[in-house]
Amino acid sequence: MASSRLGPAAAAGDGEAGYEIASQRQLIWRKFRRHRVAVFSFYLLLVLYALAILAEFCSPYGAFERHRGYLFAPPTKLHFIDQERRFHLRPFVYKVTNELDMETFQRKYAEDTSESYSLRLFVRGESYKLLGVFKTDLHLFGVEAPGVFFPAGTDALGRDLFSRMLFGARTSLFVGLLGLAFGFVLGLFFGGLSGYYGGGVDTLIQRLIEFLQSLPTLPLWMALAALVPARWSPIQVYFGISLVLATIGWTGLARVVRGKLISLREEDYILAAKLSGVRERAIITRHLLPGFTSYLIVHLTLAVPSMILGETALSFLGLGIRPPAVSLGTLLQEAQNIQTVTLNPWMLIPGGLVVIIVLAFNFLGDGLRDAADPYKHV
């Protein structure tokens, strides 16, 4: 019985300096920082989102820039030490040559050590509009033409896979967020309605949620995705897919909102506010909403991966984002044949990126969940 009461008083006794005046948000942050994996995931995701937003700049080539001589080229090797065993601080690549094996009809790539190109920052390449505004042709890194540098190899059309991955990640990462935003609105609305009014409204919404959750997800997605007209532009498809994902994704959130609302309404301090004459609307904005924002953030973080996976799955099946638009799902779709696995294994690298993104979101969510309850320890 003593232990539950010990936490707050314990820290009041001494403990970290400034604890006494720490707000709940500060406490959450403090606790979160102790969760190393979560903090690492947080920064990793920051970097990934930055790379995705600035995809044109960070990628050495454009998403559709084709290198006709380099179809299915493997990842280019970076070198620090040259033929004369001299060390170069600046990494370089050798010229890549290929010839067709007339027996197997495969291209065999080899390095021609006679020519080398150093890796440089801010190389001029295909021109683009940065953030859709600044027209430029600078790329973060690359090698001078005619040298080529494919960090993750190329695909069947000779397009740089690494560059395409950045563009694909942009679609996938933001489709997740967009889907979540739609789901958030729906979940908050229905969950709030359900928890606030209770009674018949609650029962109705809960049955609806149960119904939606009992439907097999994939066929439903496929059915809904089939509704997206084929002549829509990639941008429209993109919104369409987000909506499809949100239609199913909101149910979990609605449950969280409802449960939290119901348990918060039972708290003595809500009753105290009511008995102090605080209006219903003020109770919602002053007490109820701040009361569960931390839970919402946690829930949303944990929901992003399922959105991303959903988009990837749909695109993989050819029902989601369609080429020429690039997403991690379409990249994987291109890799879906036996030839890839045996001959061009680098085509599976986007799958690795999906795994990393999903894991990072999960770790981040775990860390946030543990931190969201800063008083729950001992």
Partner 1 sequence: MPADDVLLDVKSLCKYFPIEKGLIRRVVGHVKAVDDVSFQLRAGEILGLVGESGCGKTTLGRCILRAIEPTSGEIKLKTHSGEVVDVTKLNKEQLRKLRREMNMIFQDPFSSLSPRMTVLDIIGEPLWAQGVRGKAYEDRVKELADIVGLNVGHLNRYPNAFSGGQRQRIGIARTLTTNPNLIIADEPVSALDVSIQAQILNLLQDLQEEFGLTILFVAHDLSVVEHITDRVAVMYVGKIVELSETEELYLQPKHPYTEALLSAVPKPDPGLKSEPIVLQGEVANPASPPSGCYFHPRCRYAQEICTQQAPPLEEVSPGHYAACHFADELSLEGVPV
Partner 2 sequence: MNADNHPLLEVENLKAHLTLDEGVLKAVDGVSFTIAPGQILGLVGESGCGKSMTVQALMRIEPKFARVEGKILFHPPRGLPVDLAALEPHGQEIRAIRGGDIAMIFQEPMTSFSPLHTIGNQIVEGIRLHRTSSRRAARQLAIEMLARVGISNPQQRVDEYPHQLSGGMRQRAMIAMALACEPSLLIADEPTTALDVTVQAQVLQLMRDLQSDFGMAILYITHDLGVVANMVDEVAVMYLGKIVEYTDVNSLFANPLHPYTQALLKSVPKVGKKQRTRLASIEGSVPVPINRPPGCAFYARCTKAIDGLCNTRDPQLVEAEAGHRVSCFLYQEEGEAVDEAENQGGHYAG
Q: Is 119 exposed, middle or buried (0-12, 13-18, 19+ CB in 10 A)?
A: buried
Query: Which residues sit opposite 108 in a β-bridge?
Result: 99
Q: 57 and 142 in contact (C-beta within 8 Å)?
A: no
Residues 273-332, interacting with partner 1 (CB under 8 A)? 273-279, 282, 286-287, 290-291
Q: How far is the CB of 12 from partner 2 (least distance, A)?
A: 8
Give the nearer residue to partner 2 in terms of CB position, either 20 or 103: 20
Give the nearer residue to partner 1 in terms of CB position, either 349 or 372: 372
**What is the dihedral sign for C-alpha 23, 28, 29, 30?**
positive
Indicate which of partner 2, partner 1, none lies near residue 200 (CB less than 5 to 8 Å, by partner kind): none
Q: How far is the CB of 252 from partner 1 (least distance, A)?
A: 25
Three-class SS of residue 99?
Answer: strand
Binding of residue 8 to partner 1 (CB under 8 A) = yes
Q: How far is the CB of 9 from partner 1 (least distance, A)?
A: 5
Taking CB under 8 A as the criterion, the residue among 105, 214, 268, 324 binding partner 1 is 268
Q: How far is the CB of 206 from partner 1 (least distance, A)?
A: 13
Orientation of helix 349-371 relative to helix 24-33, angle to 10°:
130
Q: 332 and 325 in contact (C-beta within 8 Å)?
A: no
Binding of residue 13 to partner 2 (CB under 8 A) = yes
User: Following CA atoms 8, 12, 16, 20 in sequence, which dihedral angle do they give, to the nearest 10 degrees?
Assistant: 90
Question: What is the residue-wise DSSP string for 171-210?
Answer: HHHHHHHHHHHHHHHHHHHHHHHHHHH-HHHHHHHHHHHH
User: Any idea which residue has 């001029």 for tokens?
Assistant: 124
- Residues in contact with partner 2, shown as a per-residue x/- string from 339 to 378 under the rule CB under 8 A: --------------------------------------xx
Give the nearer residue to partner 1 in terms of CB position, either 80 or 211: 211
Query: Which residues sit opposite 81 in a β-bridge?
Result: 87
Name the strand (E) or helix (H) holding 106: strand 106-130
Q: How far is the CB of 214 from partner 1 (least distance, A)?
A: 18
Question: Of 2-10, 127-135, 175-183, 280-288, which part binds partner 2 (CB under 8 A)?
Answer: 2-10
Query: Which residues sit opposite 128 in a β-bridge?
Result: 136
Question: Of 3-11, 119-127, 167-175, 303-311, which part binds partner 2 (CB under 8 A)?
Answer: 3-11
Indicate which of partner 2, partner 1, none lies near residue 378 (CB less than 5 to 8 Å, by partner kind): partner 2
Taking CB under 8 A as the criterion, the residue among 47, 226, 271, 355 binding partner 1 is 271
Neighbour tally for 373: CB within 10 Å: 15
Give the nearer residue to partner 1 in terms of CB position, either 36 or 207: 207
Q: How far is the CB of 286 from partner 1 (least distance, A)?
A: 8
Give the nearer residue to partner 1 in terms of CB position, either 249 or 374: 374
- Count of residues in contact with partner 2, rule CB under 8 A: 14
Question: What is the residue-wise DSSP string for 111-180?
Answer: EEEEEEEEEEEEEEEEEEEETTTEEEEEEEEEE-TT----TT-B-TT-BBHHHHHHHHHHHHHHHHHHHH
Binding of residue 10 to partner 2 (CB under 8 A) = yes
Angstrom distance (rounded) from CA 108 to CA 97: 8
Indicate which of partner 1, partner 2, none lies near residue 22 (CB less than 5 to 8 Å, by partner kind): partner 1
Residues 19-58, interacting with partner 1 (CB under 8 A)? 19-24, 27
Closest CA to 88 of 113, 111, 118, 112: 118
Provide the binding-site residues for partner 2, judged by CB under 8 A. Answer: 1-2, 5-6, 9-16, 377-378
Interface with partner 1 by CB under 8 A: which residues? 5, 8-9, 11-12, 19-24, 27, 267-269, 271-279, 282, 286-287, 290-291, 375
